[in-house]
Amino acid sequence: MGYERAKEQPLTFVLVHGSFADVRFWNGVAGMLRKMGHKVFVPEYPGHGSDPNTNVTHGMISRAVADFILARQLRDIILVGHSFGGSVVQKTAELVPDRIKRLVFMNGFVIGEGQSVVDQFPPQVQQLFEQLRQLSPDDTIMLPFPVFRDAFVNLADLQLARQLYSEVRPEPAKPSFEKLDLKAFYKLNIPRSYLYLTDDNLLPQGEGYGWHPHMSGRLGLFRLIRSDGDHMTYFRTQPALLAQKLVEASRD
Amino acid sequence: MGYERAKEQPLTFVLVHGSFADVRFWNGVAGMLRKMGHKVFVPEYPGHGSDPNTNVTHGMISRAVADFILARQLRDIILVGHSFGGSVVQKTAELVPDRIKRLVFMNGFVIGEGQSVVDQFPPQVQQLFEQLRQLSPDDTIMLPFPVFRDAFVNLADLQLARQLYSEVRPEPAKPSFEKLDLKAFYKLNIPRSYLYLTDDNLLPQGEGYGWHPHMSGRLGLFRLIRSDGDHMTYFRTQPALLAQKLVEASRD
Amino acid sequence: MGYERAKEQPLTFVLVHGSFADVRFWNGVAGMLRKMGHKVFVPEYPGHGSDPNTNVTHGMISRAVADFILARQLRDIILVGHSFGGSVVQKTAELVPDRIKRLVFMNGFVIGEGQSVVDQFPPQVQQLFEQLRQLSPDDTIMLPFPVFRDAFVNLADLQLARQLYSEVRPEPAKPSFEKLDLKAFYKLNIPRSYLYLTDDNLLPQGEGYGWHPHMSGRLGLFRLIRSDGDHMTYFRTQPALLAQKLVEASRD
């Protein structure tokens, strides 16, 4: 039924990846969405992909995504943010609200006014990030494998976990530590959805933390769609499932 | 195995619908339960169905359900409440406790002593309900389509959402705003179950709100049965699944 | 894929059962794990199985499990605790940390420093346990059938619930009431996983109680694996599913 509807209502997706990733993160899901008849755009942003600069700000990133949308004259878009990309979607929505039909957070950060991405983690994890940042020569954070394996790809087997880890690049630290002014975001009336992957334990689930219902609850009225999946594995192994769920989160 | 047991142990269901609905809400599930060999009764109550009166009270509604049970001399019933119907089940149980074998709340409100149905919503939603009530000519609440589409039928596609919305009638406001005396309910020892539809985001999930575990937790010892499903869609599209889960929640 | 990997990486499991059970509790799951190519050991501990003594302590139990591991010269083990067995795993890990490759809690108690197993229950349930203890001639707790049926085996039909209840033996009370010194446990760096059976309502789910995320959250970094299942039923009816999930929780 989703496939039939897609023919009737093709959607225009802009997919924003998260930390420790680049545009290739969306390859599987984007391919499935295109097969279903949708248009899909995947912007790269500063400090990622082929950009060697690690001295980037959160504002540079959201500005780059907004410019991508404007340069291609995209309208009525479904703006999707995964993980750190959620916070990018929040700030991009402030810049080009009239281009966006619906915001979709896919285990994406929904930052509270005046907070940072790192603020969403428990104190011990914040300390770990701070230490990793200090240890790096270029103000980046690189995940130790045991953290990646158990917290990011808990559903993967070891071989796949190693493969996915080999693709991880150090993440510029600054944007995740910046306190974000989101007053304009919290006045927007753009429809929004939360696609919640229920096996994702990167953030503690519940009791003051977590993707859903803790951060999703900041969205006010939103459409909830749930799916199996941890933080990263199913993007590689179950792209058809995630694309289908993304359409359910995105359709009118 | 459920089907085999139903032959051995036919149950007597009384199904109580919620707000914005009438007896037709249960058509699909009731039909499936009857096919499985169970007896099913679906009472209409004041202010709903063919009753044009909107000046009804919560007491009138629970009294009507109790009278329905007494008039038909029903005994050993499984009394099921969906949504607002949960609060009706609570008060009906006070009136005819000896007729009830088990209470089943199906994403049904379990109201705390001295609270109202509306009290179970976050402050912003309470304000919305208050405004909608003020706007109506006859003290009813009518849901705007965007609220219905994202909060009541998030799993539906647009066509089905519109179809279900076309069946929604304005809901008499007063019973949902009444503070309920439930001291007698909380002394009852009738076995109870909570059938939790996990995709239902009408109430925030967790952190001080929600069907389960927040309101279900007021039941003390209860049997938990979980199922996929949002607040209303699967009653139309997956009646066999919901009937099966209802039997699992209801059997001895 | 799990089966293929098992051939490559056979694991050594030590499975620790919980209260109201004995080594036979693991028969189904252990059989499946062995078929998959793993080594499986299931220690009995004092006060359970053929041991008629009910005057046992938590220390006697964890010591017995540690001695079992030492006597068989087991190394690189996956130490799995279900229910009360979780607290045993915590203390056993303090005794033989160098023998353990990974700890797996399977709806197992993760006790906070200085707390008891009984402390993890809501006050009313604590009172019930206290009363049941007082009523017993030998300081044991025997579950009333209605509690067992709705809180331990909610997914079972009545026939299976009765069968499983017939196998329940009174549980020595003392170990569950003891306050545990877990300071050493909380300094261990052994990798750990939580296998969460999502239909288990023995402990309230969320809001200050529960297997996950409340108690699991005490583990710091851990691998989360989720599965359908209540507290006990699927050990009898779905051993292949639970064995597969256990491998996902246990593999490197």
Nearest CA in chain B to A1: B157
Q: Per the CB < 8 Å rule, is A157 touching C221? A: no
> Is B83 part of the annotated catalytic residue set?
yes
Domains in chain A, please, with CATH?
Answer: 2-250 (3.40.50.1820)
pLDDT, tens digit, 9 for 90 and up, residues C121-169: 999 999 999 999 999 999 999 999 999 999 999 999 999 999 999 999 9
What pairs with residue C192 in β-bridges?
A: C103
Residue C6 has pLDDT above 80, yes or no: no
Nearest CA in chain B to A219: B204
DSSP structural state of residue A155:
T
d(CA A166, CA C66): 38
Å between A211 CA and nearest CA of chain B: 12
Q: Which residue from A199, A207, A230 is facing C217, i.e. has the nearest CB?
A: A207
End-to-end Cα separation, chain C, in angstroms: 14
Question: Could you tell me the CA-to-CA distances from B195 to A171, A236, B106, C194 in Å, in that order?
Answer: 44, 34, 5, 25
Q: Are C12 and C45 in contact (CB under 8 A)?
A: no
Measured between CB atoms, does A150 come within 8 Å of chain C?
yes
Measured between beta carbons, the chain A residues lying within 8 angstroms of C214 are: 206-207
Rg (Cα) of chain A, in Å, rounded? 17
**Strand pairing class (A140-141; A77-83):** unpaired
Assign A7 a pLDDT band (cuts: 50, 70, 90). low
Å between C236 CA and nearest CA of chain A: 25
Q: Catalytic one among B19, B83, B116, B227? A: B83
Measured between CB atoms, does A179 come within 8 Å of chain B?
no
**CB count, 10 Å around CB of A108?**
26
Nearest CA in chain B to A217: B204
Q: Are C111 and C179 in contact (CB under 8 A)?
A: no
Q: Are C58 and C1 in contact (CB under 8 A)?
A: no
Question: Could you tell me the CA-to-CA distances from A116 to A59, A208, B252 in Å, in that order?
Answer: 13, 15, 51
Helix (H) or strand (E) holding B196, with range, is strand B192-197
Which chains are adjacent to chain B, needing at least 3 Cβ pairs under 8 Å? A, C
Q: Are C106 and C235 in contact (CB under 8 A)?
A: no
Measured between CB atoms, does C229 come within 8 Å of chain B?
no
pLDDT, tens digit, 9 for 90 and up, residues B101-112: 999 999 999 999
**Does residue B213 have a cis bond before it (omega within 30 degrees)?**
yes
Q: Which residue from A2, A221, A251 is facing B151, i.e. has the nearest CB?
A: A221
d(CA A122, CA A149): 19
Query: ipTM value of the model?
Result: 0.95
d(CA B43, CA B22): 9
Q: Measuring CA to CA, which residue among C107, C69, C98, C104 is closest to residue C191? A: C104
Q: How does DSSP assign C189-245, residue by residue? A: ---EEEEEETT--SS-SBTTBSIIIIIGGGGSS-EEEEE---SSHHHHH-HHHHHHH
What pairs with residue C193 in β-bridges?
A: C104, C223
Helix (H) or strand (E) holding C22, with range, is none
Mutate one of B125, B148, B152, B154 to test the A interface: name it (highest A CB count within 10 A): B154
DSSP structural state of residue A156:
S
**CB count, 10 Å around CB of A151?**
21
Joined together, the tokens standing for residue B158 give 């647009």
pLDDT, tens digit, 9 for 90 and up, residues C81-130: 999 999 999 999 999 999 999 999 999 999 999 999 999 999 999 999 99
d(CA B86, CA B200): 15
Q: Per the CB < 8 Å rule, is B158 touching A252? A: yes
pLDDT, position C3: 42
Q: Catalytic one among C19, C50, C62, C83? A: C83
Measured between beta carbons, the chain B residues lying within 8 angstroms of C124 are: 220
Å between B50 CA and nearest CA of chain C: 39
Contacts (Cβ under 8 Å, ≥6 apart) of B194: B104, B105, B110, B211, B212, B216, B219, B222, B223, B224, B225, B249
Q: If DSSP codes are grouped into helix, strand and coil, which group holds residue C163?
A: helix
Q: pLDDT (tens digit, 0 to 9) for every residue of chain B, 252 residues total?
A: 344 444 568 999 999 999 999 999 999 999 999 999 999 999 999 999 999 999 999 999 999 999 999 999 999 999 999 999 999 999 999 999 999 999 999 999 999 999 999 999 999 999 999 999 999 999 999 999 999 999 999 999 999 999 999 999 999 999 999 999 999 999 999 999 999 999 999 999 988 999 999 999 999 999 999 999 999 999 999 999 999 999 999 999
Whole-prediction pTM value?
0.96
d(CA C216, CA C249): 14
pLDDT, tens digit, 9 for 90 and up, residues A164-214: 999 999 999 999 999 999 999 999 999 999 999 999 999 999 889 999 999
Q: Per the CB < 8 Å rule, is C222 touching A150? A: yes
pLDDT, tens digit, 9 for 90 and up, residues B86-143: 999 999 999 999 999 999 999 999 999 999 999 999 999 999 999 999 999 999 999 9
Joined together, the tokens standing for residue A94 give 């402030």
**Does residue A213 have a cis bond before it (omega within 30 degrees)?**
yes
pLDDT, tens digit, 9 for 90 and up, residues A135-166: 999 999 999 999 999 999 999 999 999 999 99
d(CA B82, CA B210): 14
Measured between CB atoms, does A151 come within 8 Å of chain C?
yes
d(CA A129, CA A28): 29
Measured between CB atoms, does A201 come within 8 Å of chain C?
yes
Joined together, the tokens standing for residue B24 give 């037709």
d(CA B137, CA A60): 51
Residue A5 has pLDDT above 50, yes or no: no
Nearest CA in chain C to B209: C207
**CB count, 10 Å around CB of A31?**
14
Q: Catalytic one among A19, A83, A87, A176? A: A83
Contacts (Cβ under 8 Å, ≥6 apart) of C214: A206, A207, C203, C206, C208
d(CA C57, CA C46): 8
Give the burial string for B24-53 (b: 16+ CB within 10 Å, else e). ebbebbbebbeebebebbbbbbbbbeeeee
Cα angle C62, C63, C65; round to 5: 65
Nearest CA in chain C to A152: C223
Q: Which residue from A124, A146, A207 is facing C213, i.e. has the nearest CB?
A: A207
What number is the average pLDDT over the span A125-141?
A: 95
Q: Which residue has the tokens 């983690």?
A: A121
